[in-house]
């Protein structure tokens, strides 16, 4: 995936917004992963 240079200020804001949304998605995915690990470990312990 090649990086793109924004041509205008609004392009830059759009790019950063989409990247921020990606980061939010990754944070949620990670939270889900930690949750899954906890559930699995609790399940194995009982």
Task: Determine if 8 is a binding residue for other proteins (CB under 8 A).
Answer: yes
21, 24, 28, 30: which one contacts other proteins (CB under 8 A)?
A: 30
Class of residue 15 by CB neighbours under 10 A (exposed 0-12, middle 13-18, buried 19+): middle
Verify binding: residue 42, other proteins, rule CB under 8 A: no
Is residue 6 within 8 A of residue 12, CB to CB? The reply is yes
Helices (H), the chain: 9-45
Catalog residues that contact other proteins under the rule CB under 8 A.
Answer: 1-6, 8-10, 12-13, 15-16, 19, 22, 30, 33-34, 36-38, 40-41, 44
């Amino acid at each position: 995936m090649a990086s793109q240079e924004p041509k205008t200020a609004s392009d830059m804001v759009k790019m950063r917004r989409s990247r921020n949304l990606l980061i939010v998605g990754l944070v949620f995915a990670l939270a889900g992963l930690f949750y899954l690990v906890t559930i699995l470990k609790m399940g194995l312990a009982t």
